[in-house]
Amino acid sequence: MSVEQALWFIVGVLALIVGLGISIGLHEWGHFAPAKRFGVGITKFMVGFGPTVWSTQRGETEFGIKAIPLGGFVAMHGMFAPSESTRRRGGAGTDFAGMEPPSDEEAFDDSRSFYRLSVLRRIVVMLGGPVMNLVIATVLYAVLLMGFGIIQPSLTVGSVSECVLPATETRTQCEPGDPAAPGNQAGLRPGDVIVSVDGVEVDTWLELTEVIRVNPGNTITLGIEREGVARDIRITPLLTERYAIDSRGQVPVDVRGEPITEEVGFVGIGAALESSRQPVGQVPVAVWDNVVGVTNIILTLPQRMVQVAQAAFGDDERDPNGPISVVGVGRIAGEIASIDSIETQDRIASFLALLASLNIALFVFNLIPLLPLDGGHVAVALIDGIRRRFAKIRGQPAPRPTDPQRLMPLTLVVIAALISMSVLLMYADIVNPISLVQ
């Protein structure tokens, strides 16, 4: 790596730290704003954990930045109802680093305690943080898709293969005996623009691919433009093994995570890629796809962490689609900034995509219904609401809010698990990182 690339690498890492810090700050503001509106006493609003780097007092709340940018907290008065032996004071918005410091018990009277809010208001406060991350991700995807566009296949032929090799074949060079590619035989050339199939206009490369795949052995006529001149080319797709393609142009996988193959028609041409701005309707689609992807990672986290451990302490390769730590994300941000073979706007677009994905991860992860995560606080509020409803139906007095002492053992287990996973991922991202540069 040259000196210039090293400097750009550092710029990329710093840009990620700033972007992540802003995302965390807005996450915490998502908790702070409704809590403040509902009258909850708030002593601290902090971005980060560990030693305080900077802080200022604004009214009753201390706002500040701490040294470790791995989360944040809003220290709210009376986060949990008093137990028989003690009063716990916590904060909303735990992200990665465990429980927040307790707020000052004497700072506010009990009427301004968080636990005094109605169930609905408690849920609004706790969901405010994750929802803010979702809003950030949606805005970033809107800028990315509608402003920068995405790289996708065009209807211009970018490559023409000389022969046909099965999808699972590891070699890339043609050898004697390999069947000739129909596209090459028919005379297709890179730069040809395909406009129709059998006289029917096609709008996307995926449409063209679908026609070719369902017509093995059947001759079809491609209408093309070559250097501004229209012409027809007759071509017969060859039946061969290819990867399956779903309705979005993605390759589906089986239960083992292996790509699915099928016997379909193939002519041996590849599309030239182009940047294309997307309509607003594609923004929620991109957001949903990422939410589903992160959810699947979380649902399969135990086996994924086993794979990470095997890669960290053995010779296994890292799964490029597996979980990574903030160290790994920082490395990727640095590599994006230091790659000098791509345009500046493509670097910016890649960085926005990375930051949007991080916010989706924060959104989904914080919805896990376990303390100390936001989803755990929502679960406690819902449980209290259900208990009150049943008591009302039975004509009984409203029960006391959930005793925090009963939740502490499970909370400590979750904190220990989060710390252990974070340490393992950081170690793996140092000794066997996922890298964009091979």
Per-residue pLDDT tens digits for 222-255: 999 998 899 999 999 999 988 888 776 677 877 7
- Quickly state the pLDDT bin for 88 (edges 50, 70, 90): very low
Highest mean pLDDT among 60-69, 126-135, 299-308 belongs to 126-135
- The residue type of 21 is G
Per-residue pLDDT tens digits for 273-328: 887 888 999 999 999 999 998 998 899 888 889 989 998 998 888 887 788 888 88
Q: For residues 134 and 284, is the Cβ–Cβ distance under 8 A?
A: no
3 state SS of 67: strand
Q: For residues 78 and 102, is the Cβ–Cβ distance under 8 A?
A: no
Work out the percent of the chain whose per-residue pLDDT is above 70. Answer: 92
Q: For residues 294 and 177, is the Cβ–Cβ distance under 8 A?
A: no
Q: Where are the alpha helices (DSSP H) in 38-166?
A: 119-142
How many angstroms separate the CA atoms of 95 and 351, rounded? 22
Residue 141 neighbours by CB distance under 10 Å = 25
* Amino acid 254: pLDDT: 77
- Quickly state the pLDDT bin for 92 (edges 50, 70, 90): very low
Task: Enumerate the domain spans of the chain.
Answer: 1-147+282-438, 150-276
Q: Say if residue 137's pLDDT is above 90.
A: yes
Structure-model confidence comparison of residues 78 and 40, the more confident one: 40
How many angstroms separate the CA atoms of 397 and 391, rounded? 6
Work out the percent of the chain whose per-residue pLDDT is above 90. Answer: 45
Per-residue pLDDT tens digits for 20-45: 999 999 999 999 999 999 999 999 99
- The residue type of 372 is P
106 is catalytic: no
How many angstroms separate the CA atoms of 215 and 212, rounded? 5
* Amino acid 408: pLDDT: 81
Structural tokens at position 120 = 């609905």
Instruction: Tell me the CA end-to-end span of the chain in Å, nearest whole number.
Output: 13
Q: What is the average per-residue pLDDT within 323-340? A: 86
Among 104, 138, 105, 132, CA closest to 33: 132
Q: What is the average per-residue pLDDT within 390-407? A: 82
* Amino acid 123: pLDDT: 94
- Strands 261-266, 238-243: parallel, antiparallel or unpaired by DSSP? antiparallel
Structural tokens at position 257 = 């995570």
How many angstroms separate the CA atoms of 322 and 129, rounded? 25
How many angstroms separate the CA atoms of 423 and 420, rounded? 5
Catalytic residue among 28, 100, 210, 335: 28
Q: Say if residue 90's pLDDT is above 50.
A: no
Structure-model confidence comparison of residues 296 and 1, the more confident one: 296
* Amino acid 337: pLDDT: 85
Q: What is the average per-residue pLDDT within 96-107? A: 45
Among 162, 159, 155, CA closest to 184: 162
Chain-centroid distance of CA 365 in Å reads 10
Q: What is the average per-residue pLDDT within 196-219? A: 91
How many angstroms separate the CA atoms of 89 and 66, rounded? 20
* Amino acid 211: pLDDT: 92
CA angle 203, 226, 231 (to 5 degrees): 80
DSSP class per residue in 195-208 = EEETTEE--SHHHH
DSSP class per residue in 232-255 = EEEE-PEEEEEE---TTS---B-T
Chain-centroid distance of CA 251 in Å reads 19
Provide the whole-model pTM. 0.76
- Quickly state the pLDDT bin for 102 (edges 50, 70, 90): very low
- The residue type of 304 is R
Structure-model confidence comparison of residues 52 and 69, the more confident one: 52
Q: What is the average per-residue pLDDT within 112-132? A: 93
Q: Which CATH superfamily is domain 150-276 in?
A: PDZ domain (2.30.42.10)
